[in-house]
Amino acid sequence: MSVDIKNLVQKYDTPLYVYDFDNIARRYEELKHAFEGKKSLVAYAVKSNSNLAVIRHLANMGAGADCVSIGEVKRALRAGVKKYRIIFSGVGKKDEEIREALQEDILLINLESEAEMKRVEMLAKELGVEARISIRVNPNVDPKTHPYISTGLHENKFGVSIDAAKRMYIYAKKSEHLNPIGIHFHIGSQLTELSPIEEACGIVADLVRSLQAINIDIKFFDIGGGLGVVYDDEVTIRTEAYAHAITQAIKGLDVTIVMEPGRYMVANSGIFLTKVLYEKKNGAKRFVIVDGAMNDLIRPSLYNAYHKIEAVQKTGETTPADVVGPVCESGDFLGKDIALPALEHNDILVVHSAGAYGFTMSSNYNTRGKVAEVAISNGNDYLIRQRENFDDQIRLEEVCDTGWQS
């Protein structure tokens, strides 16, 4: 990302998220090009970065949206995603969420259990509509990723077994209010090996062929997301190899390939900027205390995830330091044993690869306001989310007199 960081900090203050919209566009085009000549839909995983401007940017290029709450469905619609490109997924959907999705007439609802299928059928009957559905199949393939973002094993809460899926498809085919048009799988996130994807794709493609044999016509083959990105020194999957593996697995099937990339689209398109408050030493341990914290970027604390951290326009001998924030938790760190030069008050640090699961997982813990977000496009900067203040945080709270006195 080629930007004047000091100018951005002077203009918008810190902590601050900055997104390179030109790079997001390149990532989208690269993925679409890999599947050129095939029917395909890139349904952006809204959970990775749900800013309306980010979703609109992708929608303008033709992207759909993979949503895991009715709130995300509403975000996608508000941002301009066509309803026939929106998928509603997620393990636990409330009745009112299902009703609203059916009334919005989105592309399909992705089912995670037999019980959920029965609820969708009942609600579709009440509304007098036919629910277009897909079923999330759990292929029981080890994705070889962090256990917290593994989703395709029987021990995970997601999806149903192959046998359960067959029963569900047969039931749905016979129902007046269910139309089974899709199949879905997603084995995990931050995948850097192609073989688990190939294996899962082959298993699910075989299921589609067996369904076709009993006249269940699957039109959408949803491979989920999960393509890994570089945070440190990962060797990632080439999009051409990814596309080839999938198209070979589904050879002979007349389906639209649906992809749900999130991290792949935005992680390396975003940075997090934070200012140094002080340095301190506890014995031999060096700490760089910054104004950004775990409530702003929780991935290091939650997953022990690595993000490259660099000082802006500072040189000199480097020594290891833990970069920590103001939150009152020992787990409040952005990086450990990071090689940094000597730093002073108001020096700026850049936390790289922060475009995915950064702001979208942030919170108001310790009554800290959520930070501002800025987009960079064609060399210009745009404020796409204002910095939150104290009044924004307490707007929905009420002080009530309970009658207790000290």
Q: What is the DSSP string of 32-74?
A: HHHTTTS-EEEEEEGGG---HHHHHHHHTTT-EEEESSHHHHH
Let me know: does 110 contact 151? Beta carbons within 8 Å. no
Q: Where are the beta strands (DSSP E) in 178-253?
A: 178-184, 220-222
- Give the angle 237-239-240 at the CA atoms, nearest 5°: 115
R_g of the chain, CA atoms, integer Å: 23
- Closest to 376 measured CA to CA, from 2, 15, 20, 27: 20
- CA 263, CA 214: separation in Å to the nearest integer? 37
Cis-peptide into 15, omega within 30 deg = yes
Those residues with Cβ within 8 angstroms of residue 52's Cβ, 6 or more apart along the chain or in another chain: 75, 78, 79, 384
Q: Which helix (H) or strand (E) holds 14?
A: none
Let me know: does 188 contact 226? Beta carbons within 8 Å. yes
* Catalytic position from the list 67, 201, 328, 400: 328
**What's the residue count for the chain?**
406
328 annotated active-site: yes
CB atoms within 10 A of CB 320: 12
Q: What are phi and psi of 25, to 5 degrees?
A: -60, -40
Q: Is 256 exposed, middle or buried (0-12, 13-18, 19+ CB in 10 A)?
A: middle
Q: Which two tokens stand for residue 343?
A: 């730093």
Catalytic machinery residues: 328
